[in-house]
Structure 1
């Protein structure tokens, strides 16, 4: 039988877990109600459509996926990586769709929470800076259990990798072993990745080490956490 002290400690742990869970739920509600990019934008022009933040917070996941910003299809479905790039990313990680969307396993925190719209060439605009400036510090403080961040693209890499010295995603990803070996000030390690878009097919073909070395190690690491 458990002693009184053991029972007390166990109940205290359960209480702390519930408080953390409640905090995550409340924080995600606040993010979903955020309209600053329309009502009081820090940068112009304002968001060209109604905000629809797409973010998965977690009080248990050890891995955070940090991308750029939702595309139009994700904006319409409110499901992160619900497109071809998501299929590629899940293949890189060697996880099922159910595993990928299991919040107990993965948090999904893009640098911009909403689809930013298109530029004049019909390409996605950069992620809104308001999200990073207002929310990201609080989000990662609320998730101290995160051990590994998959930083996809330059915007995520510049924020998650302290003192990043490289100017291109290619240079950053090429130095993935060294970057992964460094514990970041927020308490997690980082693996930099290119965006899993068809637009990067040529880059992937030109750099076979990405599939032969980085992806092999990434899958090993992911399943170690899972």
Structure 2
């Protein structure tokens, strides 16, 4: 019991330290506001890209159209999705990186280099990692990823049941979803069943 409490305290201390991080602040157009979630008992890890501007303003991850679609993909509601005892949310970049010519800029690399290894080590009960988008796939799959996102997502059975690669649920990906109907036909039924099974055990 003592060891369990120590690990919980260690995780909480680390999350507080991350939320105070200003390492990249000079490069961030709206300043630093690291957004992460998750408790030690979480079974599912949502590994996304970086917060959008709405998330930056509210400090609530995936509280936008992308989040609505993601929760539909997972077959869960907001109450479950934001239950930190069940779901951890650790994007590749913790702060809003700003906007480029074709949407938001890539997540800042400093987050993964500085925080990810020690943070993930304090989430020992994770049984499913949802790697959303190319940057998360590069980090979590490393040399196991394919030559592009479509091929990586298409090879999802190679990574399941521990990891499931996903496209970003942004409305910007509507064309990709129309061109790849196999994703909704094959991946989503498995994903929802896997999520349901894991959450039932928490």
TM-score category by the smaller chain?
over 0.9
Corresponding residue of 1:197: 170
1:47 Cα deviation after fit? 2.0
Is 1:23 the counterpart of 2:27? The answer is: no
Q: Which runs of 5+ in 2 are unaligned?
A: none
Is 1:217 the counterpart of 2:193? The answer is: no
Instruction: Give the whole-Å Cα distance in 2 for the aligned partners of 1:64 and 1:49.
Output: 26
Instruction: Give the whole-Å Cα distance in 1 for the aligned partners of 2:71 and 2:159.
Output: 22
Instruction: Give the whole-Å Cα distance in 1 for the aligned partners of 2:78 and 2:113.
Output: 31
Deviation per residue, 1:103-155 (Å, 9 max, x gap): 01100000000000112x26211000000110011111111111110000000
Deviation per residue, 1:184-226 (Å, 9 max, x gap): xxxxx21000000111112111211111110000000000001
Corresponding residue of 2:138: 158
1:165 Cα deviation after fit? 4.2
Deviation per residue, 1:13-39 (Å, 9 max, x gap): x22221111111101000011111136
Find the residue that maps to 1:36 and give its secondary structure: coil
Deviation per residue, 1:73-130 (Å, 9 max, x gap): 00001000000000000000000110000001100000000000112x2621100000
Is 1:108 the counterpart of 2:83? The answer is: no
Higher relative contact order (CA 8 A, sep 6+): 2
Calculate the aligned-residue CA RMSD, in Å: 1.2
**Mapping for residues 32-71 of structure 1, pairs under 5 Å:** 32-38=19-25, 46-71=27-52
**Mapping for residues 39-188 of structure 1, pairs under 5 Å:** 46-119=27-100, 121=101, 123-180=103-160
Asked if 1 retains the 8 angstrom alpha-carbon contact of 2:138 and 2:145, the reply is no
Between Structure 1 and Structure 2, how many residues are aligned?
199
Q: Which runs of 5+ in 1 are unaligned?
A: 1-13, 40-45, 182-188
Question: Which shows bigger deviation, 66-75 or 203-212?
Answer: 203-212
Output the TM-score relative to the length of structure 2. Answer: 0.95
Q: Quick check: which has more Rg, 1 or 2? A: 1
Instruction: Point out 4+ residue stretches in structure 1 off by more than 6 angstroms.
Output: none
